[in-house]
Amino acid sequence: MRLDGLGALISGGASGLGAATARLLSERGARVAIVDLDGDGAGALAAELGDRAVSFRADVTAEEQVRAAVERTVEAFGELRLVVGCAGIAWGERVVGGEGAARLEPFEKVVGVNLVGMFNVLRLGAEAMSDNARDDEGERGAVVMTASIAAFEGQTGQIAYSASKAGVAGMTLPAARDLASLGIRVCTIAPGLFDTPLLAELPQKARDGLAAGIPFPRRLGRPSEYAQLVAQIAENPMLNGETIRLDGALRMPPR
């Protein structure tokens, strides 16, 4: 797909990987809808990007809120061709710790946002794309979801996060197969350690220690590099049904 003039929706688009993606797509000529639970942050970024951007507040786990954001994006841009799912949360807790068994509620919340919320964005975005005219390749649109290398090498205390991200990776191929007849592609990016607001809260010494474990390049990933891969997936019609690790050859240790 050509990015110039394309209509895109980014969930979790107000910060981190999502914000970097919104900026890059806008620079490439796309029109972007920034959707986030942080409505003020989404609005501020849309204002920064100018008339190519709009913003909507939505909880990805709320069906009607996501549906409204999708519908308003189509109204604003005429069509929706690219959906990028970046909304997610993390939680650390062992299955059994000093206070006994892990609590069920945090596990359910992480899976609810990261997996169920991702599916909500996927299904409603794809539904809107199904009304698009096909391009010269027969394509109507593409969805890029976000997993994590924790889907494959979850560390101690990452039981909820790893389960949720493994679910996203597991959805990728069947979703691509489900949507193939409609001309809609689905890929997932599994980032490693990226310089996002979550890691920015750590002391510099801790950040340096994390970066030292990455074979090459020996640094944290840049959100712009995630955004670059989103653009490459959108532009390359043979990328479909794949989960792509973006991690500098990092394989996470047990802790």
Active site residues: 161
Burial of 33 from C-beta contacts in 10 A (0-12 / 13-18 / 19+): buried
Per-residue DSSP letter, 52: G
Contact 165, 153 (CB under 8 A): no
Cβ neighbours of residue 73 closer than 8 Å, sequence gap 6 or more: 7, 9, 33, 54, 56, 80, 128
For residue 68, list its beta bridge partners: none
Region for 12 from its dihedrals, namely left if φ exceeds 0, alpha if ψ lies in -120 to 50, beta otherwise: left
Determine the straight-line distance between the first and last CA of the chain, rounded to whole angstroms: 41
In the block, residue with structure tokens 């809808």: 33
Q: Is the bond preceding 217 in cis, omega lying within 30 degrees of 0?
A: yes
Residue 167 CA to residue 239 CA, distance in Å, equals 20
Continuous H helices in 2-92: 16-27, 39-49, 63-77
Contact 32, 234 (CB under 8 A): no
Q: Which amino acid is at 252?
A: M
In the block, residue with structure tokens 């039981």: 159
